Chains A and B, each alone.
Chain A
Amino acid sequence: MPKLIIVDRSGAEKELEATSGLSVMETIRDAGFDELLALCGGCCSCATCHVYVERGPAEARVPGSSDEDDLLESSGHRRAESRLSCQLILTEALSGLIVRIAPEE
């Protein structure tokens, strides 16, 4: 099971054993964090599950599609390592990922 470290808006860290095949958004939600609105439920239609990938392979640190890239443009807090966490699907290869929940819009 891939390991994931989540950093919330207060800076608190939590290490989790995640389930391969679930998105980072679902993993954060299921771990009891309530800072992500994730309003569209993970279908890449809003930008309310914005995170920063603070550690992880290069391909996890860039948007996975032009839709994701465009939606991230709507955030006032976009950084180079911004992702929509619903579009980041966990695999063994991503074990050790550190994601920080981006500030509220």
Chain B
Amino acid sequence: MAGRDTRDVIIVGAGHGGAQAAIALRQLGFARSVAVIGNEPEFPYERPPLTKEYFAGDKAFDRILIRPPAFWAERKIEMLLSTEVTAVDATAKRLSFANGGSLGYGALIWATGGTPRKLTCSGHDLKGVHAVRTRADVLQMMDELPAVTQVVVIGGGYIGLEAAAVLTKFEKKVVLLEALERVLARVAGAELSRFYEAEHRAHGVDLRTSVQVECIEEKDGCVTGVRLAGGEVVPADMVIVGIGIIPAVEPLIAAGVQCGNGVVVDELCRTSLPDVYAIGDCAAHSNGFADGATIRLESVQNANDQAITVAKAITGNLVPYKATPWFWSNQYDLKLQTVGLSIGFDRTVVRGDTAARSFSVVYLKNGRVIALDCVNSMKDYVQGRKLVDTRAEIDPELLADATRPLKDLIAA
């Protein structure tokens, strides 16, 4: 057993990855001391609802807790909340906290995710300008919303699009600004982008692409509008910024960890520092579904499965991480589900009818299926997984025939 000021395992980050790492360690019979350090005051909660059910007011906070508060004490998982790690001493194996405290570790699991990327232009930190990453962010928005008539959402990724969909339900005027030529440009093909652009416009969102933001305008410290390159000012009494995250890894970098876009980890999620692992949004790993490219994946699936990989490694079961990536996004009555990674695709095939709002986009690379984006198309999502897992080589014409179930194409 570790001493009083040391824990056998310390998990930094109380999100999906950190919570699951602690749960999995106990499930695997790890009986020594485990502490989870979170910089928010809350027990671990699900983040996806922050732009969906929780933001919409459809689910109370206690329903998005990953486990009830009493669970952690019952499993002897120490929760150190509202605690910021400021430094890692990888030689002494010790963490320092902003509150002046410190703790030694046997093994360290870094699961901090990221902090929202901020605009750099003037006005980026005005009252009324929000990111959506934490419960506190959402509470602040909910508090301001009754007095808000027009919201500008900056960024046409999943966070921005989901937030826009909820805001239309609140009957707010919503303008969504995307810098690139289409929404979801980094994560999906043009077919999916065009479909979601049309859906948002049909729901009343003023969605504009290829738009550059110059600055946020203000009056008395509060946001009044967003000035675009070219001079137009879009009025706004709230601005939501969803332009990605920056991995929260500064203390590890200062400790000398190998780092690129995130902390570099191997197939067991080990970093270059001894007994230091990294998982989830902040972990740059070689992913077989991206042809071995080193990537970060921002998803519940990745956080959860890497957490299990580390818990197994710590308990002596060295199983490389190779879980199939999957992801979901709910907007309006549209259920998008993704399996695989479309990175590097060279061809797409649309199955089904986009006008009927039930279809899939199949992504191919060198003739093989690497990913599917399925919109209101659960069968394709479920059956498409095997195509992705086996990198099936299937005639695009067969793939395009939505009357033929994907499972029937595997042997074809």
A26 nearest CB neighbor, chain B only: B63
| 25 A-B residue pairs with CB within 8 Å | A22-B63, A29-B68, A30-B68, A32-B67, A32-B68, A32-B70, A34-B23, A34-B75, A35-B27, A37-B304, A39-B300, A40-B300, A41-B49, A41-B53, A41-B64, A43-B52, A43-B330, A46-B326, A46-B328, A70-B378, A70-B379, A70-B381, A71-B382, A73-B382, A74-B382
Give the number of A-B contacts (CB < 8 Å). Answer: 52
**CA of A32 to CA of B71, assembled, Å:** 6
How many A residues face the partner with a CB closer than 8 A? Answer: 21
Q: A22-B63, A41-B46 are in contact. List 15 more A-B contacts (CB 8 A).
A: A26-B63, A29-B68, A32-B67, A32-B68, A34-B67, A34-B71, A34-B75, A37-B304, A41-B53, A43-B52, A44-B335, A66-B378, A67-B335, A73-B382, A74-B382
Beta-carbon contact of B27 and A45 below 8 Å? no
Beta-carbon contact of A67 and B71 below 8 Å? no
Q: Please list the residues of chain B having a beta carbon within 8 angstroms of any beta carbon in chain A.
A: 23, 26-27, 46, 48-49, 52-53, 63-64, 67-68, 70-71, 74-75, 300-301, 304, 326, 328, 330, 335, 337, 378-379, 381-382, 385
Beta-carbon contact of A39 and B304 below 8 Å? yes
Determine how close the nearest CB of chain A comes to the CB of B232; give it in whole angstroms.
37
**CA of A5 to CA of B63, assembled, Å:** 21
Contact residues in A for B326 (Cβ distance below 8 Å) = 46
Determine how close the nearest CB of chain A comes to the CB of B278; give it in whole angstroms.
20
Please tell me which one of the listed residues A22, A41, A44, A67 contacts residue B48 in the complex, with CB atoms under 8 A apart.
A41
Determine how close the nearest CB of chain B comes to the CB of A90; give it in whole angstroms.
13
Please tell me which one of the listed residues A26, A37, A39, A67 contacts residue B378 in the complex, with CB atoms under 8 A apart.
A67
Beta-carbon contact of A34 and B27 below 8 Å? yes
**CA of A46 to CA of B112, assembled, Å:** 24
Beta-carbon contact of B328 and A45 below 8 Å? yes
Beta-carbon contact of B53 and A43 below 8 Å? yes
For chain A residues 1-50, which have a beta carbon within 8 Å of chain B?
Answer: 22, 26, 29-30, 32, 34-35, 37, 39-41, 43-46
**CA of A70 to CA of B337, assembled, Å:** 13
Main secondary structure of the interface of A (DSSP, over half): loop
A67 nearest CB neighbor, chain B only: B378
Determine how close the nearest CB of chain B comes to the CB of A40; give it in whole angstroms.
6
Contact residues in A for B301 (Cβ distance below 8 Å) = 39
Contact residues in A for B68 (Cβ distance below 8 Å) = 29-30, 32
A37 nearest CB neighbor, chain B only: B304
Beta-carbon contact of A32 and B74 below 8 Å? yes
Beta-carbon contact of B67 and A29 below 8 Å? yes
Contact residues in B for A46 (Cβ distance below 8 Å) = 326, 328
A72 nearest CB neighbor, chain B only: B382
Beta-carbon contact of B328 and A71 below 8 Å? no
Determine how close the nearest CB of chain A comes to the CB of B335; give it in whole angstroms.
7
**CA of A73 to CA of B383, assembled, Å:** 9
Contact residues in B for A43 (Cβ distance below 8 Å) = 52-53, 328, 330
Contact residues in B for A66 (Cβ distance below 8 Å) = 378
Determine how close the nearest CB of chain A comes to the CB of B398; give it in whole angstroms.
20
**CA of A15 to CA of B335, assembled, Å:** 35
**CA of A46 to CA of B304, assembled, Å:** 13
**CA of A103 to CA of B209, assembled, Å:** 47
Contact residues in A for B52 (Cβ distance below 8 Å) = 43
Contact residues in B for A45 (Cβ distance below 8 Å) = 328, 330, 335, 337
